[in-house]
Amino acid sequence: MAGLTRTAGAFAVTPHKISVCILLQLYAPSAQMSLPFPFSSISQHNRLGLYLLSLTKSCDDIFEPKLEDLINQLREVGEDMDAWLTDHLTNRFSSLTSPDDLLNFFNDMRGILGSLDSGAAQDDQIILDPNSNLGMFVRRCILAFNLLSFEGVCHLFTSIEVYCREAHSSSAQYDESNDNLESLIQHDQMDMEKYIMDKATEEVELQKNASGRVPFHLHTPEALFKVTKGLLVTRKEKSRTNTKKAEATQLACASSSTVGDTLVDESLFLRTNYQIQGFLMEQADAIETHGSSLSSSSIESFLQKLQNLAPELHRVHFLRYLNKLHSDDYFAALENLLRYFDYSAGTEGFDLVLPSTGCSMYGRYEIALLCLGMMHFRFGHPNLALEVLTEAVRVSQQHSNDTCLAYTLAAMSNLLSEMGIASTTSVLGSSYSPVTSTASLLSVQQRVYILLKESLRRADTLKLRRLVASNHLAMAKFELMHVQRPLLSFGPKASVRHKTCPVSVCKEIRLGAHLLSDFSAESSTMTIDGSLSSVWLKDLQKPWGQPVFSQESGSRKSSTFFQFCDHLVSIPGSVSQIIGASYLLRATSWELYGSAPMARMNTLVYAALFGDSSSSSDAELAYLKLIQHLALYKGYKDAFAALKIAEEKFLTVSKSKILLLKLQLLHEHALHRGNLKLAQRMCNELGGLASTTMGVDMELKVEASLREARTLLAAKQYSQAANVAHSLFCTCHKFNLQIEKASVLLLLAEIHKKSGNAVLGLPYALASISFCQSFNLDLLKASATLTLAELWLGLGSNHAKRALDLLHGAFPMILGHGGLELRARAYIFEANCNLSDPSFSVSTDSDTVLDSLRQASDELQALEYHELAAEAFYLMAMVYDKVGQLEEREEAATLFKMHITALENPQDEEPNMA
């Protein structure tokens, strides 16, 4: 609480600022000359000016560069006179031998400022306008120095000594620590300059080729005209070279731990509150984005430091909570969360609180409850979470904090929809009126819907745009997955027709995406200010982020441009996160509605544009979708390769979905290759991931038993498979999982088809088709139609014509959007139909059949689906036999044999993934 109210605009003199002042003195010496001594050209002079400008801007940053860093930067800027600049700087510092020298130094600084009514300035004199950026900076420094007490001057003096000593000792330190790498380092240090320059020019050339923009380093006169852009260019340039440099030093030190060290640097100067808040917020974003791939101990030690420096800054505890949350340390997370709210009563630095509402005298403990609830949720204690969130609802109502209420309701609906708690009536029943009245009557889904509506309404009236957007997205998700029907239906008249409505899903998604245009009107300015102040010179900090980026695969690299723009327009990370989520949701909905290309495109858009700002779980989801797509459309080889990359990145994340995906892929693969034992094992493991509580993790459970039924089916144990499928259908019905019902029905039809009982299968297939129709599941419908056609054919060859017609109706959908397996099945079936059609003559029309069979066999081989592949080759061999092409026949026959043997002896050479 105290932290925010105390002098927010404090500006302290630090050694770094003194170096900037020294440089300013060089830039604008009080002597009269058009071009001061060391500069050989005006452009050189201007370059220093621009550099100083960016330095003064970045002075509000939380970190200050060390003298060493400054000297390195000067080398880039100063080129041929860098030695002179550095010498001057260090000499000036070493001439400060007593506090009195400091006093004189600041007196001299006064001289480089022009008088306020500077009409009398001569043309050839370089005088700083006191109202310019640089002038203001000098004035602030002088003022801050004058305000210092003698003790303060003494402290400044000692910190200058430390500042200089560090620069001197740094090279020595390297030598001490890495004896074996000594020569390398020395070499590196000697050649550093040359190396950088080479790299810089190389890159400049590259850049010129690429973008046509004239970079700053080329000293063409044009560059100077683009002063406005120039700054931009230097920043960008610098970031690049610095990255290079970081790589170079990393190479030399041969350890990535340096990165952590930089983050927790000794030269941590405390800055104004605003900056720290902004900085902490950035860190929080970073923690969220990178999840546990960010080393938690380095953040921890940094926070420890910050806490030592500023014990009254309670936000640190919150950061620690976040950090612990992401490294899955339940007790520490809980402890820190409670501590944060105990200390600050939730009033420090919470941006979801509009400043105008101020702090009520009760503090904001409802937010504590909200956070606690979400924490329990994350650690997998849904009942506890619900309990806490209920209390949060009550307390926010009591303190009439509508904002928090809206968020809490959203969190609650999220919890309910993810976990699907079966028996929540006792919890929800007690306090919350809109829920109470109906709670006992409603299913979880309906409750989710009510909560969402309620939250949306509140968020809308309170103009919480981000919440509105994310609520819209949640709503879209809800509409996508759950069947819409009248909330309270009584009596015989209520309509019983269930269906989903893609239009409303689309509407919700679009409403969610409106945020991008809206967010600028958002009143929470602090977020933006806070992080902006440290965005300056952020590019200089880039090396810190380096290890994170380098781990990532290709999709990230293309995003640098967007990221850069991101800084310029400063879209808050949370906004782009929500927008990104909307793309992911689009992908999901297309997946469901059955358009593979659209799903893939949306996922790619997400990965390309929003990958940087995404939270780790979202990024994981995107990877998951892409890998699934690969498996379906490109075969397992590619998918497993991609999975390997994803695994490295995400497996450390808690509750990783990647593990799930891996099991799914392995199961499919095993099924196709006929390795049923492995399939069964995978299936059981999948089931083991789900929680044992009734009604929780329903989707996972459904999936597990669906796969079990399929495994049984593959093992030709029809009655058992049918039993599993039947009970699964009952479960789906009980928990209102309408969409899953469609696929279970299809599976039942499939089982009957395989068991040779086509008549029994027909009604199931028809029911599945009608479900698909009302829920707009086009792809599923196509595959159901295929099954229906197969069933017809199973009734006898006299139905071949009808079956073929059905198949042709579904063909566009299957070929356009279907995966490898579905397409291959369709092709084989087409051939089968043709062959069994009495009116079809093989000898005349063999190409039609062979074509589709060839297609099918290609796709099946990519999929390693031995059973179907064998069938395709068998048919092929038969056809060749008929038309008398013996050579081809033999070839097809060997391939048939090969697949059959592979199917019968499923070797355990599973891919090394298992």
Partner 1 sequence: MVSKESCRNEIRAAIRQLSDRCLYSAAKWAGEQLVGIEQDPSNFTPSNTRFQRGSSSIRRRFSTISTPQPSAGFSQPPATPLPQEEDEVIDGDLYLLAKSYFDCREYRRASHVLRDQMSNKSLFLRCYALYLAGEKRKEEEMIELEGPLGKSDAINRELVSLERELSALKRTGAIDSFGLYLYGVVLKEKGNESLARASLVESVNSYPWNWSAWSELQSLCTSIEILNSLNLNSHWMKEFFLGSAYQELRMHSESLAKYEYLQGIFSFSNYIQAQTAKAQYSLREFDQVEIMFEDLLRNDPYRVEDMDLYSNVLYAKEACAALSYLAHKVFLTDKYRPESCCIVGNYYSLKGQHEKAVMYFRRALKLNKKYLSAWTLMGHEYVEMKNTSAAIDAYRRAVDVNPCDYRAWYGLGQAYEMMGMPFYALHYFRKSIFFLPNDSRLWIAMAKCYQSEQLHMLEEAIKCYKRAVNCGDTEGIALNQLAKLHQKLGRNEEAAFYFEKDLERMDAEGLEGPNMFEALVFLATHLKTNKKFDEAEVYCTRLLDYSGPEKEKAKSLLRGIRMAQTDFPSMDMEHFPL
Residue 388 contacts partner 1 per CB under 8 A: yes
Q: Is 813 in the site for partner 1 (CB under 8 A)?
A: no
Q: For residue 253, which amino acid is it?
A: C
3-state class (DSSP) for residue 94: helix
Task: Please choose, from the candidates 2, 129, 127, 144, the residue with its C-alpha nearest in 3D space to the C-alpha of residue 59.
Answer: 144
Span of 94-102, 151-159, 322-330, 620-628 interacting with partner 1 by CB under 8 A: 151-159
Q: Is 387 in the site for partner 1 (CB under 8 A)?
A: yes
906 near partner 1, rule: CB under 8 A: no
Query: Bridge-partner residues for 113, per DSSP?
Result: 128
The least distance separating partner 1 from the CB of residue 437, rounded to whole angstroms, comes to: 18
Q: Which of 272, 445, 616, 680 binds partner 1 (CB under 8 A)?
A: 272
Distances in Å between the Cα of 502 and the Cα atoms of 168, 499, 579 are 67, 10, 19
C-alpha span between 387 and 200 (Å, rounded): 59
Q: By rule CB under 8 A, what string of x and - marks binding of each residue 212-251 to partner 1? A: ----------------------------------------
CA distance 130 to 117: 10
Contact map string, positions 684 to 723, toward partner 1, x by CB under 8 A: ----------------------------------------
Query: Minimum CB separation from partner 1 for residue 2, in Å?
Result: 7
How many C-beta neighbours within 10 Å does residue 5 have? 10
The minimum distance between CB 339 and partner 1, in angstroms, equals 6
**Nearest-approach distance from CB 166 to partner 1, in angstroms:** 15
Under rule CB under 8 A, how many of the chain's residues touch partner 1?
Answer: 42
Residue of 76, 391, 479, 591 interacting with partner 1 (CB under 8 A): 391
Query: 269: which 2 tokens?
Result: 């100067």
Residue 148 binds to partner 1 (criterion: CB under 8 A): no
Q: Minimum distance from CB of 453 to partner 1 (Å)? A: 25
Of 143 and 759, the one with the shorter C-beta distance to partner 1 is: 143
CB of 8 to partner 1, least distance (A): 8
* Count of beta carbons in the 10 Å neighbourhood of residue 525: 10
Place of tokens 């009080």: 30
C-alpha to C-alpha distance for 192 and 73, rounded to whole angstroms: 12
Give the binding range for partner 1 (CB under 8 A) out of 176-184, 306-314, 443-451, 738-746: 306-314
Which two three-digit tokens encode residue 568? 């310029």
Show the tokens assigned to 357. Answer: 């509402």
Which alpha helices (H) appear in 698-775, and where do they start and end?
Answer: 698-714, 718-734, 738-754, 758-775
CB atoms inside a 10 Å sphere around CB 53: 18
* Type of residue numbered 635: G
Query: CA 317 → CA 112, 271, 354, 375, distances in Å?
Result: 45, 18, 22, 15
**Alpha carbon distance 405, 408 (integer Å):** 5
Determine if 10 is a binding residue for partner 1 (CB under 8 A): yes
Residue 489 binds partner 1 (CB under 8 A): no
Considering only 81, 395, 476, 739, the residue that binds partner 1 (CB under 8 A) is 395
Interface with partner 1 (CB under 8 A), residue from 214, 372, 581, 849: 372
User: Minimal distance in Å, beta carbon 305 to partner 1?
Assistant: 9
Region at 300 (left for phi over 0; alpha for psi -120 to 50; beta for the rest): alpha
In the complex with partner 1, which residue's Cβ is closer, 391 or 740?
Answer: 391
- Report if residue 6 touches partner 1, rule: CB under 8 A: yes
Q: Does 430 sit near partner 1 (CB under 8 A)?
A: yes
Indicate whether 313 belongs to the interface with partner 1 (CB under 8 A). yes
C-alpha to C-alpha distance for 736 and 447, rounded to whole angstroms: 13
Stretch that binds partner 1, among 127-135, 392-400, 408-416, 690-698 (CB under 8 A): 392-400
DSSP per position, 540-605: HHHHHHHHHHHHS-HHHHTTHHHHHHHHHHT--HHHHHHHHHHHHHHHHHHHHHT-HHHHHHHHHH
Helices within 212-272 (DSSP H only) = 221-225, 227-253, 257-263
Q: Is residue 273 at the binding interface for partner 1, with CB under 8 A as the rule?
A: yes
Task: Count other Cβ atoms within 10 Å, centred on residue 120.
Answer: 7
Single residue of 80, 124, 151, 266 touching partner 1 by CB under 8 A = 151
Q: Which stretch binds partner 1 (CB under 8 A): 4-12, 32-40, 159-167, 622-630?
A: 4-12
Question: What are the tokens at 250?
Answer: 């990393």
- For residues 273 and 857, which CB has a smaller minimum distance to partner 1 in the complex? 273
Taking CB under 8 A as the rule, does residue 378 contact partner 1? no
Per-residue x/- track, 332-371, partner 1 (CB under 8 A): --x---xx--xx-x---------------xxx-x--xx--
Q: Are 793 and 806 within 8 A, CB to CB? A: no
Helix H, strand E, coil C: the string for 851-894 is: HHHHHHHHHHHHHCCHHHHHHHHHHHHHHHHHHCCHHHHHHHHH
User: 3-class SS at 113?
Assistant: strand
The answer to whether 624 touches 657, Cβ cutoff 8 Å, is: yes
Among 197, 270, 660, 760, binds partner 1 (CB under 8 A): 270
Window of 42-50, 302-310, 323-331, 776-784 that interacts with partner 1 by CB under 8 A:
302-310
Report in angstroms how near the CB of residue 424 gets to partner 1 at its nearest: 15
Residue placing its CB nearer to partner 1 in the complex, 281 or 609: 281
Closest contact distance (angstroms) between CB of 313 and partner 1 is 6
Q: At how many degrees (to 10) do helices 616-634 and 596-605 cross?
A: 140
Q: Pull the structure tokens for residue 684.
A: 């059981």
- Residue 374 beta carbon to partner 1: minimum distance, rounded to whole angstroms: 14
For the four alpha carbons of 488, 491, 493 and 495, in that order, the dihedral sign comes to positive
Applying CB under 8 A, the span of 41-49, 383-391, 579-587, 886-894 interacting with partner 1 comes to 383-391
CB atoms within 10 A of CB 80: 9
Nearer to partner 1, 6 or 716 (CB): 6
For partner 1, the closer CB: 393 or 581: 393
Q: With binding defined as CB under 8 A, does residue 311 bind partner 1?
A: yes
Nearest approach, Cβ of residue 10 and partner 1 (Å): 5
Tokens describing residue 2: 């105290």
Query: Least Å distance between CB 409 and partner 1?
Result: 18
Q: Supply the minimum distance, in Å, between the C-beta of residue 370 and partner 1.
A: 11
Distance of alpha carbon 519 from alpha carbon 465, whole angstroms: 7
C-alpha span between 429 and 383 (Å, rounded)? 14
431 is a site residue for partner 1 (CB under 8 A): yes
Q: How far is the CB of 360 from partner 1 (least distance, A)?
A: 10
Binding site for partner 1 (CB under 8 A): 2-3, 6-8, 10, 12, 149, 151-152, 155, 270, 272-273, 276, 308-313, 334, 338-339, 342-343, 345, 361-363, 365, 368-369, 372, 387-388, 391, 394-395, 398, 430-431
